[in-house]
Amino acid sequence: MEQIDTLVIGAGQGGVATSEHLTSHGINHVVLERGRIAERWRSERWDSLVANGPAWHDRFPGMTFTCDEDAFAGKESVAKYFEDYARMISAPVRTGVAVEEVTPHTGRAGFLVRTSAGTFDARNVVCATGPFQKPAIPPVIPETAAVTQIHSTAYRNPQTLPEGAVLVIGGGSSGSQIAAELNEAGRRVYLSVGPHERPPRRYRGRDNVWWLGVLGIWNMDTPAPGTEHVTIAVSGAHGGRTVDFRRLAGRGVSLLGMTRAYENGVLHIAGDLKTNLDAGDAGYLSLLEAADAFADCNGLDLPPEPDAWDIPDDPACVSDPVRALDLAGHGISTVIWATGFRFDYNWLNADTLDETGRPIHQRGVSEVPGLYFVGLPWQSRRGSSFIWGYGTTQSSLPIRSLSSGIIWHTTRAGCDVFRSSSLSRGQAGTRSRLPDPARDGRRVAGVPDKGSPRTQHRGA
């Protein structure tokens, strides 16, 4: 049995970032990954996927992408970036090792961890398996129905699908991008859209992520339980375009309300399409209004963009919505469920999950001593599960070493704070200064300036 202070499960962005912080505090650890580093980016995403944020933003502070900083890195480049980063920091990653069971010891601290490559005795366990674990497919259409059903994680490109029309269910980033790609490939496409947010890709010469930073939206505190899920429709495809469902309909995609039920080959559709679109537009316009107010208040010389305020008229599929969709009658051969993910901790034998399987935690610290989570949606604030949120002070990565007494955490004010048992003697260390949002929006959004000593390395 191998003894280890801290065992990290998962070598995606969360596991790599956690390894860097543990190493910086001299904590002995190992990172176990069942596949390759950043495996889900490689094998569970469609071929043309790019990051939803520009390269200057969607990265760790210690390494830039080799592409243009305003470009949106492709999925293979993102995977290679994390692989290169892990190599740069000498992260102790062991690939091809599946964690099968994690059980707290009885009568003493630590955990027994059974894996496909042997057993570990770990003082601490960090679950860094991220928010995208088990594809969620609502039990609406039976498996016996005469239609191919896949989750968005299994979609690769239009050529791999059976001939015929395609129904995409889910109006978030994945659903809207896949529907647009299929439409551009000449497929007949139906898109079921629920409640969502659709921020502008760019406004007044600045990317959406910049505005989210300077407006403080990335740092929004976690809302009440059960209200934190937000479906966001944003895209970096084709250099980055604002997702506009009405304009997507104008290019030939048939929009539908939420999918409710299935009976004898017919899908029953809710009458909420216009309500969902109008609410998404209201959020879009409110962000433009907040951006204008911020620019005026801070005297920013950013060019006005009046065209961004134009909302197209309702297309026919909105003014006269479909309420019943005969799949065979409309030639639909494939249904793609872009309906998100569920948590899957079936290997975790610890009393720290609620009735839905979600971790019970406070900013990543579970109720089980020595057990931690990183990269959960809204772990400490809105940006917690995004790429840059792992590697900057905007996220919360609480790590504790039972052997050294060190605790590392972050504050939303933007200062790294590290503490040890010496805190009882009034000693603590802080670094970094608070940014001026009017002068430095990128730092507020979680990325250091170009030329900073922390950005000298270049990756994928």
Q: What is the DSSP string of 105-160?
A: PSSSSSEEEEETTEEEEEEEEEE---S--EE---S-S-TTSSSEEEEGGG---GGG
Domains and CATH numbers, the chain: 2-133+343-403 (3.50.50.60), 135-337 (3.50.50.60)
What the block records as the tokens of 346 is: 């079936």
What's the pLDDT tens digit per position in 403-438?
Answer: 444 444 433 322 222 222 222 222 222 222 223 333
Structure confidence at residue 389 as a pLDDT band (50, 70, 90): low
Residues 166 and 182 sit within 8 Å (Cβ to Cβ): yes
Residue 352 vs residues 221, 306, 400, 453: alpha-carbon distances, Å: 22, 50, 17, 40
What's the pLDDT tens digit per position in 337-369?
Answer: 999 998 899 999 999 998 888 888 887 889 899
Cα–Cα distance between 81 and 279 in angstroms, integer? 37
Angle at 429 between CA 428 and CA 433, to 5 degrees: 135
What the block records as the tokens of 71 is: 């470009």
What's the pLDDT tens digit per position in 97-119?
Answer: 999 999 999 999 999 999 999 99
Dihedral sign from CA coordinates of 408, 411, 417, 419: negative
Torsion of CA 152, 344, 132, 222, to 10 degrees: 130
